[in-house]
């Protein structure tokens, strides 16, 4: 694990449960002491909370990750915004703020004798705005600090998983260089119209650190590369799977890339048929749909039904089917019958007996193949992480509320 104040620690030999003692001592000895802030930072870095197969996670790691999650998590951002608004309103309405504004007005009047009223108001509003901005920054800092404790549990869980990812990647000689991570960071900064230094400064302003983001990226890149290397030979995608993906997309209805195998039953109604007759035919259609078992029996379902006909339509392009039947068929599963629908010739019911994709263009098929492969890799990655967790020795060195579920180190 990389931290802003330490280089990666070498993995301790196996079966040395107290390897963390040397790590903590070394970190404490190397800690800067030129200022109170640096001393506090070094102590938190040396304060080991959890060991993951003899790799340490420190209090500093957790705090930096919690602050980062507070910035990047959508839910946390909403909580922060809500807290900022509430705290800012309290600060503005407080007796102290009202007294400050009163004193501000008196000072402006005393220090600007003879100035016209409009000028005094202008000066007061400018100073009031500066003070309000200071209050707003204070509310933001307070709100962010309030979110961090709730994010620590999630931060620790992320860090444990990332240590397992890096350890799993190391076993198969997969590593990510700092240059690879820096290229991604530079891209993120560029998309935000900032230099890498400005982006790092922005993270520091949020109470986090650029090394936290780099460590997160490095672990995830190593994991994805390792999963692809280890399980690539096990993942295969065939044309039938690609056809099925293409046929299930919303695009299928508009680009005619799917053909549906259909069978139709029609309960005929004459053009002069009354509303009563239409209602009775719809009821007959409902009864028929409830009797439907499979596509093999559709041709037999009209026996004994007056003015009813059956037709095997074969394969029909989706674009050739009128609404609302088209939407019903696209949302149906193979081997299902649609509800009875009123059409010009009477009440119709369609049995969906299969579908076939009309081969899309190369880009469309490549995108479908990529989605299928990623889905397979995600399943394999989840299983592999479950195995790594089962084999790992994860224990807590220091007791906190968010390490309570982790057994202590002995």
What are the backbone angles phi and psi of residue 314, rounded to the nearest 5°?
A: 70, -145
pLDDT for 380:
86
pLDDT for 204:
85
pLDDT for 26:
36
Q: Are 350 and 295 in contact (CB under 8 A)?
A: no
pLDDT for 30:
36
Q: How many CA atoms lie within 13 A of 165 on its CB side?
A: 24
What are the backbone angles phi and psi of residue 362, rounded to the nearest 5°?
A: -60, -40
Instruction: List the domain boundaries for the chain.
Output: 19-231+391-403, 258-357
Q: Are 341 and 325 in contact (CB under 8 A)?
A: yes
Cβ-based neighbours of 246, under 8 Å, separated by 6 or more:
252, 257, 258, 357, 360, 364, 365, 368
H helices then E strands: how many in the chain?
Answer: 14, 8
Q: Are 276 and 321 in contact (CB under 8 A)?
A: no
Tens-digit pLDDT string for the chain (410 aa): 333 333 333 333 333 333 333 333 333 333 333 444 444 444 444 589 999 998 999 999 998 898 888 776 555 556 656 666 776 677 777 888 888 888 888 888 888 887 787 888 888 888 888 887 887 777 666 666 666 677 888 899 999 999 999 999 999 899 899 999 999 999 999 998 999 999 999 888 777 889 999 999 999 999 999 988 888 777 777 666 666 666 655 444 444 567 888 999 999 988 887 888 888 888 988 989 888 989 988 888 888 888 899 999 998 887 778 877 888 887 788 888 988 888 888 899 999 998 776 655 567 777 777 788 788 888 888 999 999 999 999 999 888 888 888 999 87
Q: Are 144 and 207 in contact (CB under 8 A)?
A: yes
- How is residue 35 annotated by DSSP? S
DSSP for 207-219 reads: T--HHHHHHHHHH
pLDDT for 2:
35
Distance CA 146, CA 7 (A): 30
Beta bridge partners of 350: 264
| Domain range 258-357, CATH class | alpha beta
Distance CA 2, CA 188 (A): 20
CA dihedral 359, 363, 364, 365 (to 10 degrees): 60
């Amino acid at each position: 694990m990389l931290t802003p104040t330490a280089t990666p620690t070498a993995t301790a030999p196996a079966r040395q449960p107290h390897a963390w003692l040397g790590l903590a001592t070394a970190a404490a000895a190397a800690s800067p002491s030129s200022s109170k802030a640096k001393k506090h930072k070094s102590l938190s870095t040396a304060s080991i909370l959890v060991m993951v197969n003899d790799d340490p996670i420190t209090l500093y790691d957790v705090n930096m990750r919690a602050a980062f999650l507070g910035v990047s998590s959508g839910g946390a951002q909403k909580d922060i915004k809500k807290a900022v608004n509430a705290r800012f309103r309290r600060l503005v309405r407080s007796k102290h703020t009202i007294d400050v504004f009163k004193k501000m007005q008196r000072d402006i009047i005393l220090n600007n004798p003879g100035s016209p009223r409009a000028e005094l108001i202008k000066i007061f509003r400018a100073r009031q705005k500066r003070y309000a901005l200071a209050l707003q920054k204070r509310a933001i800092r307070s709100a962010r600090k309030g979110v961090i404790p709730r994010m620590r549990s999630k931060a620790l869980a992320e860090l444990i998983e990332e240590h397992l990812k890096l350890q799993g990647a190391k076993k198969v000689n997969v590593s990510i260089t700092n240059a690879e991570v820096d290229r991604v960071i530079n891209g993120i900064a560029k998309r935000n119209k900032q230099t890498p230094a400005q982006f790092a400064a922005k993270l520091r302003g949020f109470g986090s650190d650029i090394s936290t983001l780099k460590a997160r990226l490095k672990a995830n890149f190593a994991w994805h590369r390792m999963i692809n290397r280890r399980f690539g030979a096990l993942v295969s995608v065939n044309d039938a799977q690609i056809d099925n993906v293409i046929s299930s997309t919303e695009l299928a209805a508009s680009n005619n890339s799917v053909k549906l195998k259909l069978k139709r039953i029609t309960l005929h109604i004459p053009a002069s048929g009354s509303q009563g007759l239409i209602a009775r035919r719809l009821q007959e259609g409902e009864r028929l749909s409830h009797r439907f078992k499979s596509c093999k029996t559709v041709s037999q379902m009209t026996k004994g039904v007056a003015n009813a006909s059956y037709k095997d339509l074969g394969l029909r392009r989706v674009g050739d089917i009128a609404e609302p039947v088209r939407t019903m068929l696209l949302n149906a599963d193979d081997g299902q019958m649609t509800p009875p629908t009123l059409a010009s010739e009477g009440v119709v019911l369609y049995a969906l007996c299969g579908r076939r994709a009309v081969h899309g263009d190369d880009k469309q098929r490549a995108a479908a193949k990529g989605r299928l492969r990623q889905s397979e890799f995600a399943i394999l990655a989840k299983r592999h992480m479950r195995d790594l967790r089962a084999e790992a020795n994860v224990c807590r060195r220091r007791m906190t509320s968010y390490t309570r579920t982790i057994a202590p180190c002995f």
